[in-house]
């Protein structure tokens, strides 16, 4: 038996409570300390999971052991004799991929939100007994996780309740667990068993989903080189009416999607929703290498009690965002034209944010904890996404390497080098490690490239880089109607400003996020009428807008702008030279 043994029971599904017990065979003589992580790796925000612990007590045998809370995440037990048993309830009602969720239909948890860390025993192996809820109602429930089953009589069988094990606390919390009566589909990629466990009402063409995922997974495994870094892999999918999210783990991923994202039986066309879902699966799968094993030095090891700062999230999230869609086209799951549309969408997203001219990717990574993850109404004016702009840096670097080395080196070589030097060795990537890897595989000097792309705020020279592979990038306006320079949300029939873009017509006139629009030139603004009212005006026209700020009616004179040419279009150029054609084929061709 392990020195630390956890037991988790969905004790009150109707009240969303998991009961957790921890038996600590050798508690620290001067009093055992226990704490819950403040954040979960992969999601860079302080979440303070300990706030969901609703009751906690400790005993040694029959004697109660006093527990003292010493900070918001940490408890200190009084010195005691023999085995220390800590028992607590965790309220689990967070329908996201980052915490825990339990009701009478299913249970899901990330270890980081339910398992207290036993200080001093972080590196020791531990066991976890995953118990079913009591009652016949739950007799169909089973378990999906990549936690290894423990051997012996009490051990769990695949998909069964029972005893699982982990080599350390870090491993324990990196295998999320789903329990319920999920649908289970399987396939093999490069010989490795893969499972897709889908919770929630759905009706899908599972064979199509498995075949598309197999192609994507095999392409990624071969990119880094066989064998895959895991013995099996599980996609844990929660299908709901409207949802989106994913979190990567070392041999599984937790995904939240809309059930309409999944492929319908009998449909063969590639819908935008299904393509998006495959992109999400591809993204989290790529993280199995890029962030779960190739890690920033700042994450070796994680300090789960506080923010861990790195300036490299553009390489881990951005490069992963570049490869998620690239894997779809290179594995043949989507067409080249579809890929150009996805790429154009990313370019458009970046170009629409004025914050890209103020914040560098390096700063965006560093401040992820308080900016990217805590966006407010000013976010588009103030910050740049290390996902989308990071993906464009990956594109720019890939094309730079390909054209400057005449196809001899590419970003694929950089990823393979990072895998060999860092992923396989467990040595963290230093803050200049990505540049060094790119220089090593290409023989190029790339200091200027990286300084401009990751520390600067100027737009990347994508049009020149794309032209070198025979592709044209153009920008056009989204329409001919004039614009206010705002983002809006409809609340019932009223229109509320959610964001007011820098230097736009609304901002110049004094309108603010939160204002509720009432009338334009004395005609009522409703959810359905605003676009039509604007279509009947010209850029440069001055209009009168009435709006409520809090409960005060205000009047604004707004000079309307022309829609900006910020919508990217990407297509093969009319004339492509032979060298450009060869580079394009090498970049996007199957294989």
Residue with smaller CB distance to Zn ion, 195 or 317? 317
The H or E element containing residue 34 is strand 33-35
Residue with smaller CB distance to Zn ion, 36 or 97? 97
Q: Annotate 240-287 with DSSP letters as a single string.
A: ESS--EEEE-SSEEEEEEEGGGSPPTT--S--HHHHHHHHHHHHHHHT
Does the N-terminal peptide bond of residue 391 adopt cis geometry, omega within 30 degrees of 0? no
DSSP label at residue 213: H
Question: Applying CB under 5 A, which residues contact Zn ion?
Answer: 317
Q: How far is the CB of 317 from Zn ion (least distance, A)?
A: 5
* Tokens found for residue 487: 């983002």
Q: How far is the CB of 31 from Zn ion (least distance, A)?
A: 39
Q: How far is the CB of 311 from Zn ion (least distance, A)?
A: 17
* Tokens found for residue 429: 């990537």
Residue with smaller CB distance to Zn ion, 317 or 363? 317
Residue with smaller CB distance to Zn ion, 121 or 415? 415
Could you tell me which residues are beta bridge partners of residue 252?
A: 234
Q: How far is the CB of 41 from Zn ion (least distance, A)?
A: 11
Q: How far is the CB of 247 from Zn ion (least distance, A)?
A: 8
- Integer CA distances (angstroms), 490 to 339, 493, 528, 573, 587, in order: 32, 6, 9, 40, 43
Q: How far is the CB of 373 from Zn ion (least distance, A)?
A: 13
Beta carbons within 8 Å of 399's beta carbon, 6+ residues apart: 465, 466, 468, 469, 587
Contact predicate 494/527, CB 8 Å:
yes
Nearest to 383, CA basis, from 403, 368, 393: 368
Q: How far is the CB of 24 from Zn ion (least distance, A)?
A: 35
Q: How far is the CB of 583 from Zn ion (least distance, A)?
A: 28
Question: What is the spatial distance between Cα 412 and Cα 588, in angstroms, rounded to a whole number?
Answer: 12
Residue with smaller CB distance to Zn ion, 174 or 317? 317
Q: How far is the CB of 366 from Zn ion (least distance, A)?
A: 17
| Ordered alpha helix ranges (H), 443-529 | 447-450, 462-467, 505-509
Nearest to 480, CA basis, from 413, 400, 564, 553: 564
Residue with smaller CB distance to Zn ion, 255 or 495? 255
Residue with smaller CB distance to Zn ion, 73 or 389? 389
* Tokens found for residue 424: 């396989």
Q: How far is the CB of 387 from Zn ion (least distance, A)?
A: 7
Nearest to 35, CA basis, from 94, 129, 128, 115: 115
Task: Judge residue 196's burial from the number of C-beta atoms within 10 Å of its C-beta, 0-12 exposed, 13-18 middle, 19 or more buried.
Answer: buried
3-state secondary structure 146-190: CCCECCCCCECCCCCCEEEEECCHHHHCCCCEEEECCEEEEEEEC
Question: What is the spatial distance between Cα 18 and Cα 75, in angstroms, rounded to a whole number?
Answer: 19
Q: How far is the CB of 279 from Zn ion (least distance, A)?
A: 11
Nearest to 74, CA basis, from 129, 31, 10: 31
Question: What is the spatial distance between Cα 493 and Cα 527, in angstroms, rounded to a whole number?
Answer: 5
Question: What is the spatial distance between Cα 104 and Cα 121, in angstroms, rounded to a whole number?
Answer: 34
Half-sphere exposure of 22 (CA within 13 A, CB side): 26
Residue with smaller CB distance to Zn ion, 23 or 324? 324
With CB atoms as reference, the residue minimizing the distance to Zn ion is 317
Q: How far is the CB of 320 from Zn ion (least distance, A)?
A: 5
Residue with smaller CB distance to Zn ion, 317 or 325? 317
């Amino acid at each position: 038996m392990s020195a630390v043994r956890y037991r988790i029971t969905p004790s009150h599904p109707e009240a969303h409570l998991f009961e957790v017990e921890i038996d600590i065979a050798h508690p620290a003589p001067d009093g055992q300390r226990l704490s819950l992580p403040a954040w979960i790796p992969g999601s860079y925000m302080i979440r303070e999971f300990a706030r969901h612990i609703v009751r906690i007590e400790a005993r040694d045998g029959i004697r109660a052991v006093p527990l003292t809370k010493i900070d918001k995440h940490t408890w200190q037990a009084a010195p005691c004799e023999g085995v220390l048993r800590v028992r607590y309830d965790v309220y689990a009602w967070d329908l996201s991929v980052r915490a825990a969720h339990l009701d009478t239909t299913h249970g899901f948890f990330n270890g980081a939100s339910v398992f207290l860390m036993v200080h001093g025993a972080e590196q020791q192996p531990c066991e976890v007994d995953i118990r079913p809820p009591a009652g016949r109602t739950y007799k169909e429930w089973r378990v999906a996780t990549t936690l290894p089953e423990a051997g012996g009589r009490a051990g769990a069988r695949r998909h069964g309740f029972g005893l699982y094990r982990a080599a350390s606390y870090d491993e324990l919390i990196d295998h999320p667990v789903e329990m319920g009566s999920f649908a289970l589909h399987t396939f093999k990629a490069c010989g490795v068993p893969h499972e897709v466990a889908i919770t929630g009402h759905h009706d899908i063409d599972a064979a199509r989903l498995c075949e598309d995922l197999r192609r994507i997974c095999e392409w990624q495994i071969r990119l880094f080189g066989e064998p895959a870094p895991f013995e099996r892999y599980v996609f844990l999918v929660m299908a709901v009416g409207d949802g989106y999210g994913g979190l990567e783990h070392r041999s599984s991923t937790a995904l939240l999607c809309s059930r309409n994202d999944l492929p319908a039986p009998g449909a063969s066309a590639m819908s935008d929703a299904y393509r998006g879902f495959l992109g999400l699966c591809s993204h989290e799968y790529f993280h199995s290498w890029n962030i779960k094993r190739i890690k920033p030095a700042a994450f070796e090891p994680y300090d789960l009690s506080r923010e861990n700062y790195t300036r490299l999230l553009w390489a881990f999230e951005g490069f992963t965002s570049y490869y998620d869609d690239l894997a779809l086209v290179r594995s043949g799951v989507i067409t080249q034209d579809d890929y150009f549309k996805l790429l154009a969408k990313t370019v458009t997203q970046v170009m629409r944010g004025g914050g890209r001219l103020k914040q560098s990717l390096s700063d965006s990574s560093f401040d992820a904890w308080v900016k990217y993850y805590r966006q407010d109404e000013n976010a588009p004016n103030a910050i740049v996404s290390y996902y989308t702009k990071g993906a464009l840096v990956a594109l720019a670097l890939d094309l730079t390497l390909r054209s400057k080395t005449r196809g001899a080196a590419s970003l694929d070589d950089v990823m393979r080098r990072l895998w060999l030097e860092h992923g396989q060795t467990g040595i963290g990537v230093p803050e200049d490690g990505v540049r060094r890897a790119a220089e090593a595989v290409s023989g190029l000097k790339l200091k200027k490239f990286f300084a401009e792309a990751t520390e600067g705020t100027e737009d990347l020279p994508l049009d020149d880089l794309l032209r070198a592979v025979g592709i044209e990038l153009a920008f056009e306006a989204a329409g001919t109607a004039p614009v206010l320079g705002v983002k809006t949300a409809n609340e019932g029939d009223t229109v509320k400003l959610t964001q007011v873009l820098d230097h736009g017509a609304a901002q110049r006139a004094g309108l603010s996020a939160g204002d509720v629009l009432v009338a334009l030139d004395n005609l009522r603004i409703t959810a359905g009428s605003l676009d039509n009212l604007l279509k009947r005006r010209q850029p440069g026209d001055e209009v009168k807008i009435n709006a409520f700020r809090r409960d005060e009616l205000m009047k604004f004179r707004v000079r309307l702008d022309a829609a900006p040419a910020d919508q990217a279009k990407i297509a093969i150029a009319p004339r492509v030279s032979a060298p450009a054609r060869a580079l394009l084929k090498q970049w996007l061709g199957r294989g």
